[in-house]
Amino acid sequence: MEWNDTATDDPQDRLLHEMFEAQAARDPEAVALVYEGAQLSYGELNERANRLAHHLQTLGVGPDVIVGLCVERSFEMIVALLGVLKAGGAYLPIDPDYPAETASPT
C-alpha cells in the first residue's frame, strides 16, 4: 500500500481556469456544479464565466489587478472566481458575514 500517492497525469504548467476550459470543451454537457437542488453544466458555467471575464476586462481587470469577491456560496460565486481568473486578474475572497468595522465611542 502506498500512502499519499498524489501523482497525477495533469499538466503542471496549466492554470486552473485553463484546465477548467479544457474540461468544458471535452464534455460541455457534464454537470459541473450542484447547489441547492439546481445544477450547472461545464458549458453553461464556462459561458457565464467568459461573459463576466470580457466585462471585467472592459473595466480594466488584468494582470496585477485584484478583484474583491464578497458573495455568498452560490453559482455566482464560482462564476465570479472563474471570470476574474479568465480576465487575467486575481481574486480576494471577502466573507460577507464578517462584521463591519465600527468606530469606538469617544
Q: Which amino acid is at 43?
A: G
CATH number of 16-93: 3.40.50.980
The answer to whether 40 and 33 have CB atoms below 8 angstroms apart is yes
- pLDDT tens digits, 52-95: 999 999 999 999 999 999 999 999 999 999 999 999 999 999 98
The answer to whether 24 and 46 have CB atoms below 8 angstroms apart is yes
The answer to whether 89 and 56 have CB atoms below 8 angstroms apart is yes
Please state whether the predicted TM-score (pTM) of the whole model is above 0.75: yes
**Residue 73 DSSP label:** S
Contacts of 63 by beta carbon, 8 Å cutoff, 6+ apart: 88, 89
- pLDDT tens digits, 32-56: 999 999 999 999 999 999 999 999 9
C-alpha cell at 106: 469617544
What are the extents of the domains in the chain?
16-93
As a whole number of angstroms, the distance between CA 40 and CA 45 comes to 6
- pLDDT tens digits, 3-39: 666 666 666 778 888 889 999 999 999 999 999 999 9
